Chains A and B, each alone.
Chain A
């Protein structure tokens, strides 16, 4: 009896199995989303028609991207038992580097006679690449400190957050605060050919989004495949649950952890680049605004699975979007109130779901080879 009930969540962790539990969850989610919209519509005086609903959801997917990428960073690390609370700092670094490179590379190329359109494309791509690399370097630092030197991973993550605030703040004051040359702007949106035609879903997910959002969606599938269908994923999960067992079978625990933390850092870099290469064409100190931590909440909500984390990120994205829309339609409501929404959601989600979420058993423990 108890055996069967226990094995169900496990099975769902492995495959996208559609069982009664999944159906129930889906029904709850749909009813919940409907209720949120009714409430939302009541607040803004019934001004949200179907077009507005689709628009709001489309916007939610956009806002979900950095949260989901932060969550994927967290889950790649924690599946290999390395806790990473430095995601916030990694994203901040990515967003600063992205912005700076975008603006200055563009200026340099134009000065050297390149036409604006080509220079814009190249500098945005370069900016994205370097944003990802810069975040990856911070991840490497975290990996060395916590894997090689076995330091406390929470402290290492905190140090990375502080370091990122300091470094980005410095570069901001030196180069990005005033007299910035005109840049090429953010990535332009585009539609995905066939997928964009899917009724409803196409308009929400695959129309008018920018590259990092699409990348996030692809990354969900890729991570799911890697974690649950490949030798690498099997080793990662084993290392996260029982590193000694993996070690006795000849799996190099340290290597698995290094690579996963590094991949996590790269994913966080994409999340960081989203802020300055997709959302807005400016950089502010601390503009990631805690989304890295909300990403961790989404990861926990999703029970350390990519699809679960995406669901969590979408909920937070929705909260964020609704808050923006409310402030447009109802300027009389103090903006602080809708702004609290994502954080209230975080608390609700964490209190409601954390009890059932089971982290990898070795999470946060440095591995001592005997």
Chain B
């Protein structure tokens, strides 16, 4: 980056008396059955980076959507520059100088960067302006303005590129430019680092600092403690819809923030005995698979998993992990290569055959592939075994046996549900995931494949599921863990393979892998060279 940037963790000069630019008081927002924001107070000072920390479901996005005009608060007032104001729509928010980069990008993939940025505020060829909405777009003028902005703030974007060809990091820069193009003075970044490698996150922090140096104010949301200390001036913590408190990185410690976030003491590390790997359970040789658009997203992936060990596959989302897991579990056609389970060829086996050979699968998308949301918890707990004795007698389901099993698993896996008759769709995310883990681990599995097993869960459920995975390993199960959360990979794995653009770039012993090393591999840099 060409900017003369201070080191990431350096503290900027805070001016004596900072003015408050945005303030929200007593914000309450209810959704059916959920109090998403409960009398929340929040304020943002001029030229500061204000970190907002909280678990999934704490209400951070809801609060931001209110500030951006997407939701109307049920109660509470918003002040901008000291004046009470109403923000009735995103359009209104934009007009009042607020820009937001959403957790899920609001980009149109088949359009160009320029088109995405000017959408809704198109610049027109002067000669045709009389035609209104039907006048000709001035793409060149807009592109020039975008280049100017990207230069001014150190945001590297190519105005003529198509969004769908850009890596996530670049898409995020487009989102930021989009807000700046609309002359945003206040920027809301909702979990911007969730999709980035650690290095990309650091680059984003440099950009954020350049922005505040030039007078912008930023609300920065994350649930990663490390990032709070890296860039923020102040930190606010939300929990269960309430604002727990505000502190500064100087006063706070990780333990303190974690406790504010969760509401009790948290053990940040999980106890894990050294692994004693045994025989090879899963062997993958030069596997190739395509995504739904027939682009080859898994190239020559080769690795093995042994009994009693956890192999973690690290990588930024979208580097072929989904296709890899689907290919291994029989859900996706294998184009080339070989998959062996216990020396049996399962390359083209059906999902049921693979399940019956002793593979448990915790899929990435628990709503789509993990559960039948409209079935009761009870039925979801026997989805892999319902056709076998004792759950079926011939063609007839044995309801009593299923109920017994369900009762047992609900107790054993601490699934918080009113009854086994409750629909899976109405459980919280953590309990839904426990249903899946219970179902997959209750069988005598030789191999557990867990893809993003704790995404979007609360700390309690994460701890629980992590413990179950380690226990499975200690019972000699081979575990293949796929996760985009580096912390999760580093906590659980015995060996770590890094996946980049469909290839296993390198495999390291977890004991001597560092965050920096893994981050570089995740960005495709191996041995100092970009692959």
A interface residues (Cβ-Cβ under 8 A, vs B): 2-3, 6-7, 10, 13-14, 226, 229-232, 234-235, 237-238, 241-242, 244-251, 358, 361, 370
Contact = CB atoms under 8 A, between A and B. Distances in A.
Q: Shortest 8 CB-CB distances between A and B: which pairs?
A: A250-B91, A249-B120, A245-B106, A231-B122, A232-B133, A241-B108, A248-B90, A242-B108
Contacts of A7: 162, 165
B107 A249 contact: no
B156 to A, nearest CB: 17
Interface string B103-135: 001111111100110111110100000010111
B164 A6 contact: yes
A231 B118 CA distance: 9
B89 interface: yes
B124 A231 contact: yes
Contacts of B90: 247-250
A241 B111 contact: yes
Contacts of A358: 110
Given A231-B135, A245-B106, 8 more contacts: A2-B295, A229-B136, A229-B137, A231-B122, A238-B116, A241-B111, A245-B105, A250-B94
16 contacts: A7-B165, A229-B136, A230-B131, A230-B137, A231-B124, A231-B135, A232-B133, A232-B134, A237-B108, A237-B110, A237-B111, A245-B119, A248-B100, A249-B90, A249-B94, A250-B91
A3 B91 CA distance: 34
A237 B118 CA distance: 13
B35 interface: no
Interface of B: 65, 68, 70-71, 89-91, 94, 100, 102, 105-112, 115-116, 118-122, 124, 131, 133-137, 162, 164-165, 178, 295-296
B288 to A, nearest CB: 14
Contacts of B133: 230-232, 235
A14 B114 CA distance: 13
A234 B115 contact: yes
Most buried by B among A2, A3, A232, A234: A234
B108 A250 contact: no
A3 B112 CA distance: 14
Contacts, number: 94
Contact of A234 (B94, B102, B119): B119
Nearest to B296: A2
A234 B122 contact: yes
Given A10-B110, A248-B90, A230 B135 contact: yes
A176 B496 CA distance: 78
A248 B70 contact: yes
B416 to A, nearest CB: 28
Contacts of B135: 230-231
B70 A370 contact: yes
Contacts of A3: 165
B107 A245 contact: yes
Nearest to A242: B108
A229 B138 CA distance: 9
Contacts of A249: 90-91, 94, 106, 119-121, 178
B280 to A, nearest CB: 33
Contact of A238 (B89, B111, B124, B131): B111
Contacts of A241: 108-111
Contacts of B119: 234-235, 238, 245-246, 249, 251
B109 to A, nearest CB: 7
A247 B108 CA distance: 12
Contacts of A232: 133-134
Contacts of B165: 3, 6-7
Contacts of A235: 119-120, 133
Nearest to A362: B108
B461 to A, nearest CB: 26
A251 B134 CA distance: 15
Nearest to A14: B112
